[in-house]
Amino acid sequence: MIKAPPAHSYSRLDTYSSCPLSYKFQYQDKMPRPPADPLLLGAALHDNFEAYGNHCLAKKLETDLSAVAAIAKRVLADQKQPLPSHLHDRYNLLAQQFAEMEMLNADNLVGIELDIAFTSDWTKCNWFDKKVAFRMKMDRLYKDGDEARITDYKTGYGEGNPFQMKCYAAGVFKLMPEVQKTKAEFSYVGTGYVANKTFERKDLPALVEEIEDKCAKVSDDKKFQPTPGSSCQYCAYVANCTAKPSSLVIIKTPKDARQIAEDLFVLEAQVKAKKDVLKGWVQGHGDVETSSGRWGYGKKETIAVRDMAALASILELRKIDPMKWLSITGGELKKLYKKNDGLKEDIAPLLDVKVSESFAAMKLKKEEVES
């Protein structure tokens, strides 16, 4: 039996597995979350895939490349949440690639973007049935005799979760008692790569047990503790998280490290841009105070000595060693080097040069970028 409520789905279970607190914020507290680019792109593309599939089905065609542009344009215009303009090129490219790779087999097709729902005892029900316990949406479902094939189209770069395949397979076996073998596949539209796994009916008890165990874990949870990790930096609810800020970003793999390094370049650019904008506001409206402090203009005093020789004489009269207090910066020395050939070599024996390492963002040199 599926322990419910709540009504479960693969995506909800995946969210809970990633972070129970994020699950609570999204599905129980129903806290608003800003739409992320990958989600907006994925939603628009799946609408496109459905529209293109239904077009080919109506025209009794395996594919129709001549209709791709018109369908893509219509679907884009119908989006409830507009797709940002910087994603339009990617959207159109993937719509075209999908049409080139997808061949619709109407004879064996069970459905396109199928909404499938079950009650707690795995009885098929309506998607919005009051007793619904588990839902799944299948991009494509084919059946040939006692074999079925489910295709889920992936529009991003991340690897699909094998547990999603298990959910699909269990759903098909429960939905179609005559099916003895089910192939679940992830089709990556951007690369053309297809990952798949075949399940047999004898696998059904183990599949059901795993799904029901995960559902029970969610239903029984009363605390919904956060599980900090590298994915926290992308979480829409990070500002509401109860975990300590120092634990919200964890590097476990080289991929995590590269992503954080890339994020830092972006964040530094954003900080500079925000400072520039805030500076303009302060100039016109005055200082900005927050609970953390104040942004505004403060007095900064710098002192320059016009006559260094006279200053040295005064210090000597007061028995103060002037050499201890008279200095020249490394930056000033480098400027002198540029203007005076051979000066660097003459001064080098007089210098005590200390080299230290510091953590900082470094831009690639031109030759490194080109290579």
Q: Does position 59 have pLDDT exceeding 90, yes or no?
A: yes
Per residue in 309-358, pLDDT tens? 898 899 889 888 888 887 888 888 888 889 889 988 988 888 888 888 77
Task: Name the pTM for this structure.
Answer: 0.66
CATH numeric code, 8-220 = 3.90.320
Q: Where are the domains of the chain?
A: 8-220, 254-295
- 214, 223, 143: which is closest to 175 by C-alpha? 143
Cα 331 to Cα 327, 334, 337, distances in angstroms: 12, 5, 10
Q: Which pLDDT does position 197 carry in this prediction? A: 96
Per residue in 252-280, pLDDT tens? 788 878 888 887 887 788 888 888 889 88
Average predicted confidence (pLDDT) for the chain: 89
Query: What span, in angstroms and rounded, lies between the C-alpha atoms of 209 and 1?
Result: 9
Q: Which pLDDT does position 233 carry in this prediction? A: 67
CB atoms within 10 A of CB 33: 13
